[in-house]
Structure formats: structure tokens, C-alpha cells
């Protein structure tokens, strides 16, 4: 299968030419609907607005907001005028924001006023107290020497150091359409256009540099796996700042002219309402989102009969959840995708017609033009079929590298171009892969390798268990011991002893959790990934290990 040689802007324009009057964007909560042509006009105006602020091709523009229409517009506007869009996690606080803006050398920050009751402007003024006396477009702050422009997504005009969004759109009138065309002509598919900071479950987050070629093709292949066409309507409640939102959601949809039905923030009821009202055929989410939707008390009252496909990703999917998504929500053709930010992000994906067993036990096959090999951990030696090893991947989808971090880049990508994922996987005879865990999550108890995923899958079968996460804890005798953190279903009660009794005679003795704790919710990253390292820290503290 041949790869596309398009920039992000060209991919959008191809759909404008094919389906100008077809609905591109729907925001049910904002009563907003735009056709592909109307959306493209907004994008061009914003691109010219950015140029009018003096933003050059290759400059880094950070965006810190939930899934607002301006976020979506900025993604394509920077894609047309050549600035690199740096995505900022919506949960970031002062230290994290300062680190990211400094490390990325961002010259412009596009931001929401607030998010979930937290004032973003307060956080910014905490980092740069001098802002209060600064003039918009000519910022000079000690802590962020590169920062020149701040754009606030709002219509307030009482913030002397920031442009509001409408001002930027109006400023676009000072730049001619031919100037934008010239800028677009200067772009190349191999230019870096997007920078995503990895969630930093270890050490400081690193800026992953992704090119047009990386993410345009990944989006297109994701859409192929879901059999998306312009007749589909995809509900996107996952955050844009993460690849799940901006690549698996937005770019996959636009690659086929699909309609995007967007929620600014996840809310189970609003998702069900949107799917029902807008007749969505696709829905994305991490397992915890689907669990929340399935457990909504009014689930039966929503008409989900239009649902066909979607993607579940971000963490492994329990069999029961997958069965219910296919049966109760009707998404018979839902797919599972696996990857990481460094690989644009998807490496493997199941197909719409794969049997349910493959959708819960594997993460599918590698995409076309993507190479995968499994090596014995810590070596370059290829692992046998059916045995776990580290997953390596190579191809068009591998990042350009980490921004201003050659050492980390060298560690991640070897001299032959293979990206070392740090994930443990098994390849089967049929070419499908199973992810058995992170290399760093593997528990070594008395010399035996234990994969948390296997124990989690088993414990999901317990009738009272809603969700379970297994971690390794330090142990004097065995080196490590198994611990399970369990969330129980509503109104269910059980004890650690009952859970252990459920395990006896069904899984090996050394795999039965030595410690079991019940919890109401897991510590999460803003993109919905469960932070196992935090669960470990809490356990070590509580158990005084």
C-alpha cells in the first residue's frame, strides 16, 4: 500500500474539493455545525491570523485547552502556515507548564481561560509575574525568554498582554490569501508539524517530534482499519492534546471526509446523548470511558443503533467490557489500537471483522508499511514465536526524535532505525500481537516472570470486580510480591480473603496476589492512562514496606 505525500493542510483541502458541503464538524453542546468548506475557511483565516503575529514556519506554538473548536482550527491552521503545534496536557499546573514552555522554546501560547475550575491565567501569571505590565505581541519575561505571544480563547478584551481569539482572526485580514498560498508551498511532508509531550511516567516529559508524513499516514491507516468513509459520523470525546484525540480521532476522520462529532470534555451521559442525537457510527474511548458509559443508569434509554465501529485504546480491554460494547452498545466493528506517541501513535490495530477473541486477547496486526519484531529483552536477538520479548518497530511512523534531547533519541531509536518501545509482547503464528505489559511493570517474584495483565484478566472474571490493576511490590524474601488494586461494582462488597479463595486452584500459587486493596478510583494521567507507579507508591506507604 503506497503512502500519502500530503501535508495536513493538503489532506483537509483534498476533502474540501471532494465534499465541500458535507458536514465536517459538529459540537452538539455549542450548537455548532460546519461543512468542510466552512471549516476550511475558518482554518485559512486563523492561519493568516497567526502569520500576522509574525509566527514563522518551524516556530513552536503551544496550545493549552480542552477540545474547543479553536483547538481543532489551530491544528489545521498551523498545519497550513507551518508552525509546529505543541500540545499541552489540560491537567498541567505551574511547574509542568513552565517546564514544557521552556523545553519546547514555544514563542506563542494559545490557551483557554480556565479548565474544570482552575484558572489558566492565574497559573501563567504565577510563572511570569511580569506579564501584568507587558504589551501583547512583545512579551519579555525572565522565566520564558522565547515567549512572545499569548492568545486567549475567549472574547474578553481586558487582558493587556494577550490577544483574544477574535482579534487574531481579524488580524488575518492583513495577510493576503496569496501570502498564505506561498507559505503553504514552502512546506514539505517531512517537516515536523506536531510536538507531543509523553506523559512522563518516568522522569521529565520529552517532546516527541512528529512530521506531516508521520501523522497524515497514520490517521489514514487507522481510518482504513475502521473502514471509515465520508458517510460515517465519529464521536470524539477523547482529549485532543493526546494522539488519541488529534490523530486517531481528527486526522483519521478528515482523511476520509468523515463528520466529527466533538465533546469538549468527557462526560458519559453527553457521549451517549451525542451518539443518539447525531446518529454517530463510530465512538472512541479508553476502557474506563466505555465502562462509565456501560454503567450509566439510563444506558437503555439512548438509541445507539447507529453505532458500528470506533477504537478502544490507551490500556488493555477486559473481555466483559468488549463484549458489552459490541452487544449492549452495538459497536460490533469496534477495533483495538496499540502504539505510543513516538510511533505517531498506532503500530498495530485489529480489523472490523476480527472475532471478539482476537479483539480482547491481541492488539491486532501491524499496519501496512510498519515493521515489527520481538526481541529477547536486553538483546538484539529475535524472540521465538509465542514467547514474550520487547516490541521494536520501524517505518514511516517513527518520530523524528525528541526535541533538544539527542541522548534520549539515541536511546529510543537504534542505528538501524528501530524504535524500542519498552513494551513486552508476544507475536503469534497468525501475525497478531499480544501486549503482556511494560518491561518495567513485569514482576519478578523469586526468579519467576509474572505479567500483571494475565492476573488482571483472571480477576475481571470475578462477579463483583469492576476494574483491577496489578503491580509488583518490594519483598525481602522473593524480591517482589504481587498486589491487586480493585474497584468493585456498585453496591458490591467482598473481602481480600474471598478474592484469594476465588484464585486458588485456578491460577498458579505464585501469581495469587499477596496484597489486595479496594479503591474507588485510580490515579490517572489526563489522557486516561492509569498511573501504576502511583499505585505502587501508595501501596508501599500504606503497607510500610
Q: For the residues of 34-67, what is the DSSP string, one character each?
A: EEHHHHHHHHHHHHHHHHHTTPPTT-EEEEE-SS
65, 151, 162, 400, 462 from 348: Cα distances, Å? 29, 37, 42, 20, 30
Domains (ranges, CATH) in the chain? 36-197 (3.40.50.980), 451-542 (3.30.300.30)
Higher pLDDT, 203 or 49: 49
Please report, for residues 41, 131, 247, 502, the alpha-carbon distance to residue 93 in angstroms, rounded to integers and kept in the order given: 34, 18, 25, 42
Overall size of the chain counted in residues:
545
Q: In this predicted model, what pLDDT tens digit does every residue of 136-171 receive, in sequence order?
A: 999 999 999 999 999 999 999 889 999 999 999 999
Look at residue 199 in the predicted model and tell me its pLDDT: 61
Whether residue 526 is predicted with pLDDT greater than 80 in this model: the reply is no
The model's pLDDT over 215-264, given as tens digits with 9 standing for 90+, comes to 999 999 999 999 999 999 999 999 999 999 999 999 999 999 999 999 99
Write down the pLDDT at residue 65. 98
Cβ pair 51, 108 in contact under 8 A: no
pLDDT (mean) for 355-371:
95
Query: What DSSP letter does each residue of 77-105 carry, written as one string?
Result: HHHHHTPEEEE--TT--HHHHHHHHHHHT
Contact 358, 431 (CB under 8 A): no
Average pLDDT over residues 470-499: 93
Contact by Cβ (8 Å): 211, 247: no
Residue 277 has pLDDT above 50, yes or no: yes
pLDDT of 375 reads 97
Report d(CA 146, CA 137) in Å as an integer.
12
Instruction: State mean pLDDT over 451-475.
Output: 90
The grid cell for 58 is 518551524
Using an 8 Å Cβ cutoff, are 538 and 515 in contact?
no
State yes or no: pLDDT of 31 exceeds 90.
yes
Residues 6 or more apart whose CB falls under 8 angstroms from that of 25 comprise: 32, 33, 34, 39, 69, 72, 259, 260, 262
At 178, is the secondary structure helix, strand, or coil?
helix
Peptide bond connecting 184 to the previous residue in cis, omega within 30 degrees of 0: no
Q: Is 92's pLDDT higher than 90?
A: no
- The mean of the pLDDT values for the chain is 94
pLDDT at 333 over 80: yes
Give me the percent of the chain exceeding a pLDDT of 70: 99
pTM for the predicted model, two decimal places: 0.87
Amino acid at each position: 500500500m503506497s503512502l500519502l505525500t500530503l501535508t495536513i493542510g493538503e489532506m483537509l483541502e483534498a476533502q474540501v474539493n471532494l465534499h465541500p458541503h458535507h458536514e465536517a464538524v459538529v459540537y452538539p453542546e455549542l450548537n455548532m455545525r460546519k461543512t468542510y468548506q466552512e471549516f476550511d475557511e475558518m482554518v485559512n483565516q486563523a492561519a493568516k491570523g497567526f502569520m500576522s503575529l509574525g509566527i514563522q514556519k518551524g516556530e513552536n506554538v503551544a496550545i493549552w485547552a480542552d477540545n474547543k473548536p479553536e483547538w481543532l482550527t489551530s491544528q489545521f491552521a498551523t498545519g497550513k502556515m507551518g508552525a509546529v503545534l505543541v500540545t499541552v496536557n489540560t491537567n498541567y499546573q505551574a511547574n509542568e507548564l513552565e517546564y514544557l514552555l521552556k523545553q519546547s522554546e514555544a514563542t506563542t501560547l494559545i490557551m483557554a481561560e480556565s479548565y474544570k475550575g482552575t484558572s489558566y491565567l492565574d497559573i501563567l501569571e504565577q510563572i511570569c509575574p511580569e506579564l501584568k505590565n507587558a504589551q501583547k505581541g512583545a512579551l519579555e519575561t525572565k522565566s520564558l525568554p522565547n515567549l512572545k505571544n499569548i492568545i486567549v480563547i475567549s472574547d474578553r478584551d481586558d487582558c493587556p498582554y494577550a490577544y483574544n481569539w477574535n482579534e487574531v482572526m481579524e488580524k488575518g485580514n492583513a495577510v493576503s490569501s496569496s501570502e498564505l498560498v506561498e507559505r503553504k508551498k514552502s512546506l514539505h511532508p517531512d517537516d515536523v508539524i506536531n510536538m507531543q509531550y509523553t506523559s512522563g511516567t518516568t522522569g521529565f516529559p520529552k517532546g516527541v517530534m512528529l512530521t506531516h508524513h508521520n501523522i497524515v499516514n497514520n490517521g489514514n491507516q487507522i481510518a482504513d482499519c475502521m473502514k471509515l468513509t465520508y458517510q460515517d459520523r465519529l464521536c470524539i470525546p477523547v482529549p485532543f492534546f493526546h494522539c488519541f484525540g488529534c490523530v486517531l480521532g481528527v486526522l483519521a476522520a478528515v482523511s476520509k471526509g468523515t463528520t466529527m462529532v466533538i465533546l469538549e470534555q468527557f462526560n458519559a451521559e453527553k457521549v451517549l446523548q451525542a451518539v443518539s442525537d447525531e446518529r454517530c457510527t463510530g465512538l472512541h474511548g479508553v476502557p474506563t470511558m466505555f465502562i462509565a458509559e456501560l454503567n450509566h443508569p439510563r444506558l437503555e434509554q439512548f438509541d445507539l443503533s447507529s453505532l458500528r465501529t470506533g477504537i478502544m485504546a490507551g490500556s488493555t480491554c477486559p473481555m466483559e467490557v468488549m463484549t458489552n460494547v459490541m452487544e449492549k452498545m452495538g459497536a460490533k466493528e469496534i477495533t483495538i489500537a496499540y502504539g505510543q506517541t513516538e510511533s505517531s501513535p498506532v503500530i498495530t490495530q485489529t480489523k472490523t471483522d476480527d472475532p471478539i477473541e482476537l479483539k480482547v486477547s491481541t492488539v491486532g496486526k501491524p499496519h501496512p508499511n510498519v515493521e515489527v519484531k520481538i526481541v529477547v529483552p536486553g538483546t538484539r536477538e529475535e524472540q521465538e514465536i509465542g514467547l514474550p520479548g520487547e516490541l521494536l518497530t520501524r517505518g514511516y511512523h517513527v518520530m523524528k526524535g525528541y526535541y533538544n534531547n539527542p541522548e534520549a533519541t539515541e536511546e529510543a531509536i537504534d542505528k538501524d532505525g528501530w524504535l524500542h518501545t519498552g513494551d513486552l509482547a508476544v507475536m503469534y503464528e497468525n501475525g497478531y500481537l499480544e501486549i503482556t505489559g511494560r518491561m518495567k511493570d513485569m514482576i519478578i517474584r523469586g526468579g519467576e516472570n509474572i505479567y500483571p495483565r494475565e492476573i488482571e484478566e483472571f480477576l475481571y472474571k470475578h462477579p463483583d470486580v469492576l476494574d483491577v490493576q496489578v503491580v509488583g511490590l518490594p519483598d525481602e524474601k522473593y524480591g517482589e510480591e504481587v498486589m491487586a488494586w480493585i474497584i468493585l461494582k456498585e453496591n458490591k462488597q467482598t473481602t481480600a480473603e474471598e478474592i484469594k479463595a476465588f484464585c486458588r486452584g485456578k491460577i498458579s500459587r505464585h501469581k495469587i496476589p499477596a496484597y489486595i486493596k479496594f479503591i474507588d478510583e485510580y490515579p490517572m494521567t489526563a489522557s486516561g492512562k492509569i498511573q501504576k507507579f502511583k499505585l505502587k507508591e501508595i501501596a508501599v506507604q500504606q503497607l510500610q514496606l
